Structure 1
Amino acid sequence: MKRLEGDFDYIVVGAGTAGCIVANRLSANSANRVLILEAGGNDNWIWFHIPVGYLFAIGNPRSDWMFKTEPEAGLNGRSLAYPRGKVIGGSSAINAMISMRGQAADYDHWRQLGLTGWGWNDVLPAFRRLEDHFLGDSEYHGTGGGWRIEAPRLSWAVLDAVGEAAEEMGIRKIPDFNTGDNEGVGYFHVNQKRGRRWSSARGFLKPVLNRPNLRLEKDVLVDRLIVENGRAVGVRFMQGGEMVEARAKGEVILCAGAIGSIQVLHRSGIGPADWLAPLGIETVLDRQGVGRNLQDHLQQRAIYKVEGIRTLNETYYSLVRRGLMGLDYAFRRRGPLTMAPSQLGIFTRSDPHRERANIQFHVQPLSLDKFGDPLHRFPAITVSACNLQPTSRGTVRVRSAQADQAPSIAPNYLSTVEDRQVAADAIRTTRRLMQQPALAPYHPSEFLPGPSVGDDDASLAKAAGDIGTTIFHPVGTAKMGKTSDPTAVVDERLRFLGLAGLRVIDASVMPTITSGNTNTPTAMIADKGAAMILEDAR
């Protein structure tokens, strides 16, 4: 066993959204020696930086772990691709770039679960501290942080028309989704800087790699934790074909995400003993919650053909227009190459009895069968509605003790009566939106799920299973909770329950999913978690 040279206080596993921030914060004190380990490589590929590059990065083994879900009963037996970033910056290097905190009620609910310090008023300072926001310093936003947030650098008449249709339905126009109540319609703010993607690596890791007390090791696959006398004291990882060991005097911090952190824990013998024993993995700590409570946002991807208004579909197939797009980006850093996967957002209620917005629309001026496929050859838009507060719960678990084997991911979509009802109501809401007067001049016609699908609950729930797909927001698999909760994995200070010297700081610790895109909440968790480590060390 080779020993990695160096004396480390902290080992951070994963240089993704959370890990880059944690390493930045911990190494700001020159007395802390920090090692950060990343399975991927450098973000030195052009498509990590041109925003529309997600089309090429998702589904590419250079940048994506290429996971797939188990066949899902709620999706009528379909299995979905489950992208996760495999590069410094993690999923923030390939994601939608949408800056979205969720709702104040999400975090107040965490506080009501007994998680002190996680209410909206507690997390708002961390959100502000992270930001360098184009709106400037205010009650809700900050400037000077590493997380650059800007307005989108293009607009589409067809999206403006959808926004007008939403207003005709009684949904208010909103200039900023991130003040605690995101109910409304507007354009998403994005993690970009002057038309280039702004990942966690660009904002928090690369600017501080010159610190002598911070060491980044890339292309390493963490196999397991080293546990001695009830304490995590280091990690073992594969690098260059050999097993290497690194040890930490202070803490080991798992930041590998809702999938990756669970894989490391399970291979270390930490998790449900009845899952691990059949795989020949000796149980170090029987913690039933490790790998349970998986939550994700499932969207119903409705597609509507339109007439008499431009979409990206026909632009894509025109050599002249594609050339102009390239020139616009090269000289002005504007135009379709700066597009996030979704530009217009609508947050509303699937039925009037809901206390708060529970569905989110991602509206795109394009259509395709799935990511990685070519755009359709007819003008069309995609109007995807997702359930923000799903009640279905799934699992993540390793298939073997081998570090290079993909895990079993079973989100268990649409497994509850409530989720199937929300999915049906979301498709109804989509149809109502597309029938508003503002869109009448463009003659929208339903391509998916299709006019043959009836309006009854059973037909719509089945259609949701046919067209439903993930928006890549897995959370909750190592949830925060009280020590009295047998399914809790970490406490409110993100310390692992039953094992000293170990914290989990990533999306896996969310007890319930936030009401919107999950990358920004993960960054907030990282900022707060690092502050807790430094406080506890004092």
Structure 2
Amino acid sequence: MAVYDYIIVGAGSAGSPLARGLSDDPQNRVLLIEAGPSSDRFWVNTPAGMAMLYFDREVNWNFYTEPMAKLHDRRMYWPRGKMLGGSSSLNGMIFIRGHRNDFDSWARLGNSGWGYDDVLPYFRKMERYEGGDDQYRGSYGPLHITDPVIKQNSSFDFISAATKTGIPFTEDMNGAVHDGVGFIQHNIDKGRRHSAYKAFVEPVLNRPNLTVQTKCEVQRVLFNGRVATGIEIVRDGRRETIHAAREVILSAGSLKSPQILMLSGVGSAAELKQHGIDLVHESPGVGQNLQDHFYIHTGYRSTPDSSYNANLSGLRKYWEGFRYLLTGHSYLALGSSQVAAFVKSRPEEEYADLQISFRPMSFKYFPDGTVAVDRHPGLGVSIYQLRPRTTGTVTLRSANPSDPGRYTPNFLTDADDVRAVIAGIRKVREIMSSEPIASRVTAEEVPGPSLRTDEQLYQYMQATGNSAHHQVGTCKMGSDPMAVVDDRLRVRGVERLRIVDASIMPHLTSGNTNAPTIMIGTKAVDLVLEDRLPRRSIAS
């Protein structure tokens, strides 16, 4: 009979640091379980290889939303990592913690211990920042954080142009000053992706008290009354039960964790009854409060020396591949964006509610979700709305764990969300028409100079708007009736069950969500150990 003290479901951005921290104590028997395979493959380790993984069904869940009425009934493609490292093995490797106010707001909502000053030590603890150690940054942690190995001249010019439009320069947006414009950092080490799994788990795989199992599809959490006792999985076509002597911890992400909860009998009674699932505990907030950063892409044709499109196509891409294999310093070693600007959509915002990301290359984004690098030189600039007012839902499609859930993000259903994104498009145009970046631009490709009015830009958003793949909030932390977990990440209404991933965020952070998700896993170690429960007696 398989028995562990702690069962962690999901070896991704939060599950990996959690497994590392819990297994630091040799008395803890820890199982880290993953639905997908190993992530040790060339295109995972190569930063520019993320495009090669976009539709890989072995390492990617390949989710789709429900049709969205405000976006011409489009179904939006939502890639999520399905391998060791989870989405940190699939994403653009951008490392942005978020604004101080994001976390202070979590604390003001009644979540003790989650304010900025509370979480800062965990951000410092988890990172090995090449810029060194100070009161904001850490340089002794497992996760390598680096600047881009190649900084294009056009990136410097974008920063200079942005400052001329009134955006202040920030040397380190993960340091004292978040809002402003500056270079982005990435979790890349010596030209290779440094996923959460590679950083936290791979170095300690020889620990006898840590077990990692792949290709295990979790069916449900098992309960004795309201006490979580283990999980049921399917592995190699066989159904198995694994017992937890202390706790079951879901770290399956904002789309999978609420689905597993509902399949296990924790959720809305009406939702569970519809699918014939016995109710263990009524928790109406499960799968609610889905939040994501709505994303709009703009693109510009540029002078040849401003873009590295040519280096990623034709014969040059083979030279880049050779240079990458030889030195690790090539365009294949870059993350998905080089520069970020955090700006307000209007003066009365307390802090930046828009993120503008610049990359010295351009691509076409097709309705089916595929992307292709442009053959002509170009520059890409994206806008993310950081604090959406709309929320969506994750609900069940069926009682079959192999069926994906129903994902309904409700994008563009709030007029103020629409206003903010339109303001972001106009701000991008202001920057790109300012020197010195303006001299590098030969034409605006998308949205295109003919689209000028708010209505025309709104129609462009409807036709092309996408997700930044920053889904959070579906098992939110709090004390209100819709809260799923408390501020120690324990699932309310049941025992010996926690959730440790981005689904517990009460609301989105200002920026890409991978860094705060890793922080959640790092902080959760202390919560679990401080609450250390006695081992249950498990009959054979």
Whole-Å Cα distance in 2 between the matches of residues 447 and 481 of structure 1?
45
Mapping for residues 158-237 of structure 1, pairs under 5 Å? 158-179=154-175, 181-237=177-233
Whole-Å Cα distance in 1 between the matches of residues 310 and 412 of structure 2?
35
Whole-Å Cα distance in 2 between the matches of residues 250 and 440 of structure 1?
60
Which shows bigger deviation, 53-62 or 237-246? 53-62
Instruction: Tell me whether 1:498 sits opposite 2:493 in the alignment.
Output: yes
Whole-Å Cα distance in 2 between the matches of residues 161 and 48 of structure 1?
31
Shift of 1:140: 0.7
What is the aligned partner in structure 1 of residue 472 from structure 2? 475
Instruction: Tell me whether 1:533 sits opposite 2:528 in the alignment.
Output: yes
Aligned residue identity for 1:401: A
- The superposition leaves residues 432-481 of structure 1 with CA deviations (integer Å, 9 ceiling, x where unpaired) of 1111121232234221112222223x332222222211111000000001
What is the aligned partner in structure 1 of residue 241 from structure 2? 245
What is the aligned partner in structure 1 of residue 58 from structure 2? 62
Shift of 1:263: 1.4
Q: 2:305 aligns with which of 306, 309, 313?
A: 309
Aligned residue identity for 1:291: G
Contact kept? 1:423, 1:460, Cα under 8 Å: no
Which shows bigger deviation, 445-454 or 227-236? 445-454
Instruction: Tell me whether 1:284 sits opposite 2:285 in the alignment.
Output: no
Shift of 1:331: 2.2
What is the aligned partner in structure 2 of residue 508 from structure 1? 503
Q: 1:375 aligns with which of 347, 370, 373?
A: 373
Q: 1:463 aligns with which of 454, 460, 464?
A: 460
- The superposition leaves residues 283-334 of structure 1 with CA deviations (integer Å, 9 ceiling, x where unpaired) of 2222110000000011110111123534232333341x22331232122211
Contact kept? 1:48, 1:197, Cα under 8 Å: yes
Contact kept? 1:102, 1:180, Cα under 8 Å: no
What is the aligned partner in structure 1 of residue 26 from structure 2? 30
Aligned residue identity for 2:242: A
Whole-Å Cα distance in 1 between the matches of residues 43 and 330 of structure 2?
16
SS of the equivalent of 2:436 reads helix
Whole-Å Cα distance in 2 between the matches of residues 75 and 211 of structure 1?
50
Instruction: Tell me whether 1:450 sits opposite 2:445 in the alignment.
Output: no
Q: Which runs of 4+ in 1 moved over 6 A?
A: none
Whole-Å Cα distance in 2 between the matches of residues 116 and 205 of structure 1?
29
Shift of 1:430: 1.3
Contact kept? 2:275, 2:399, Cα under 8 Å: yes
Shift of 1:229: 1.8
SS of the equivalent of 1:374 reads strand
Calculate percent identity across the aligned residue pairs.
38
Whole-Å Cα distance in 2 between the matches of residues 85 and 188 of structure 1?
22
Contact kept? 2:306, 2:440, Cα under 8 Å: no
Mapping for residues 10-49 of structure 1, pairs under 5 Å? 10-49=6-45
TM-score (norm 1): 0.96
Shift of 1:143: 2.1
- The superposition leaves residues 243-285 of structure 1 with CA deviations (integer Å, 9 ceiling, x where unpaired) of 1001111110000000111111111121112222122222222
Residues 180 and 401 from structure 1, CA distance in 2 versus in 1: closer, same or farther, beyond 3 angstroms? farther
Contact kept? 1:349, 1:356, Cα under 8 Å: yes
Whole-Å Cα distance in 2 between the matches of residues 180 and 82 of structure 1?
33
Contact kept? 1:297, 1:390, Cα under 8 Å: yes
Whole-Å Cα distance in 1 between the matches of residues 405 and 128 of structure 2?
36
Contact kept? 1:295, 1:513, Cα under 8 Å: yes
SS of the equivalent of 2:254 reads helix
Shift of 1:74: 3.0
Whole-Å Cα distance in 2 between the matches of residues 32 and 317 of structure 1?
50
What is the aligned partner in structure 2 of residue 344 from structure 1? 339
Contact kept? 2:2, 2:241, Cα under 8 Å: no
Whole-Å Cα distance in 1 between the matches of residues 519 and 440 of structure 2?
41
Q: 2:259 aligns with which of 256, 259, 263?
A: 263
Q: 1:395 aligns with which of 383, 393, 396?
A: 393
Contact kept? 1:236, 1:244, Cα under 8 Å: yes
Whole-Å Cα distance in 2 between the matches of residues 142 and 440 of structure 1?
37
Residues 497 and 324 from structure 1, CA distance in 2 versus in 1: closer, same or farther, beyond 3 angstroms? same
Whole-Å Cα distance in 2 between the matches of residues 244 and 175 of structure 1?
52
Which runs of 5 or more structure 1 residues have no equivalent in the other structure?
none
Aligned residue identity for 1:351: R
- The superposition leaves residues 119-173 of structure 1 with CA deviations (integer Å, 9 ceiling, x where unpaired) of 0000000111111111112101112211111111012222222122101112122
What is the aligned partner in structure 1 of residue 321 from structure 2? 326
Contact kept? 1:302, 1:467, Cα under 8 Å: no
Aligned residue identity for 1:446: E
Whole-Å Cα distance in 2 between the matches of residues 423 and 272 of structure 1?
33
Shift of 1:190: 0.7
Aligned residue identity for 2:435: P
Contact kept? 2:81, 2:88, Cα under 8 Å: yes
Whole-Å Cα distance in 2 between the matches of residues 443 and 144 of structure 1?
42
Q: 2:67 aligns with which of 66, 71, 77?
A: 71
Aligned residue identity for 2:69: A
Whole-Å Cα distance in 2 between the matches of residues 349 and 48 of structure 1?
35
Whole-Å Cα distance in 2 between the matches of residues 205 and 228 of structure 1?
31
RMSD over aligned Cα atoms = 1.4
Contact kept? 2:300, 2:441, Cα under 8 Å: no
